[in-house]
Amino acid sequence: MKKILLCSIIFVLSFPLLAKEEVNVYSARKEQLIKPLLNEFSRTSGIKVNLITSSEDALLKRLQLEGKNSPADILITTDAGRLYRAKVSKVLQPAITIKMQNMIAKHLQDPEHYWLALTTRARVIVYAKDRVKPSELSTYEALTDKKWRKRICVRSSNNIYNQSLVASMIAHKGKKFTAKWTKSLVKNFARKPKGGDRDQIKAVAAGQCDVAIVNTYYLGQMINSSDSSQVNATKKIAVFWPNQQDRGTHINVSGIAITKAAKNKKNALKLINFLLSDDAQFWYAQVNNEYPVVTTAGLSETLKSWGKFKADTLDLDKLGLFNSDAVKIMDKAGWR
CA distance 177 to 208: 29
b/e burial code for range 177-205 (CB count within 10 A of at least 16 → b)? ebbebbbbbbebbbeebeeebbbbbbbbb
Q: Does domain 2-120+252-299 have CATH number 3.40.50.620?
A: no
Lowest mean pLDDT among 19-23, 34-38, 138-142, 163-167: 19-23
CATH 3.40.190.10-classified regions of the chain: 2-120+252-299, 121-250+316-333
Q: Tell me the pLDDT tens digit for each residue of 90-128.
A: 999 999 999 999 999 999 999 999 999 999 999 999 999
User: If you average pLDDT over residues 266-272, what whole number do you get?
Assistant: 98
CB atoms within 10 A of CB 316: 31
Percent of the chain with pLDDT over 70: 94
User: If you average pLDDT over residues 149-165, what whole number do you get?
Assistant: 97
Q: Tell me the pLDDT tens digit for each residue of 23-50.
A: 999 999 989 889 999 999 999 999 999 9
Decide: 285 and 300 in contact? Cβ < 8 Å: yes
CB atoms within 10 A of CB 31: 12
CB atoms within 10 A of CB 301: 10
Decide: 172 and 132 in contact? Cβ < 8 Å: no
> What per-residue confidence (pLDDT) applies to 27?
97
Strand segments, DSSP code E, in the chain are 22-27, 48-53, 74-77, 115-128, 152-153, 211-215, 237-240, 251-258, 291-292
7 pLDDT exceeds 80? no
Decide: 259 and 68 in contact? Cβ < 8 Å: no
CATH code for the domain defined by 121-250+316-333 = 3.40.190.10
CA distance 329 to 336: 11
CA distance 234 to 221: 10
Strand segments, DSSP code E, in 38-190 are 48-53, 74-77, 115-128, 152-153
> What per-residue confidence (pLDDT) applies to 32?
87
